[in-house]
Amino acid sequence: MNAGQSFRNPAIVDLFTVLARWLLGAAFLYLGLNKALHPVEFLKLTRQYDIAQDALLLNLIAATLPWFEAFCGLLLLAGVAVRGTALTLATILVPFTFLVLHRALLLHAAQHIPFCAVSFDCGCGAGEEFICRKLMENFVLFALSVWLLAGRGHQCSLRYHLIPPPPPQALSR
Q: What is the pTM of this model?
A: 0.81
Question: First-to-last CA distance in the chain?
Answer: 39
- Each residue's pLDDT tens digit, 87-107: 999 999 999 999 999 999 999
Whether 144 and 17 have beta carbons less than 8 Å apart is answered as: no
CB atoms under 10 Å from CB of 101, counted, come to 16
What integer pLDDT is reported at residue 91 of this predicted model?
Answer: 96
For Cα atoms 158, 164, 166, give the angle at the middle one, nearest 5 degrees: 150
Mean pLDDT value across residues 123-152: 89
What integer pLDDT is reported at residue 123 of this predicted model?
Answer: 80
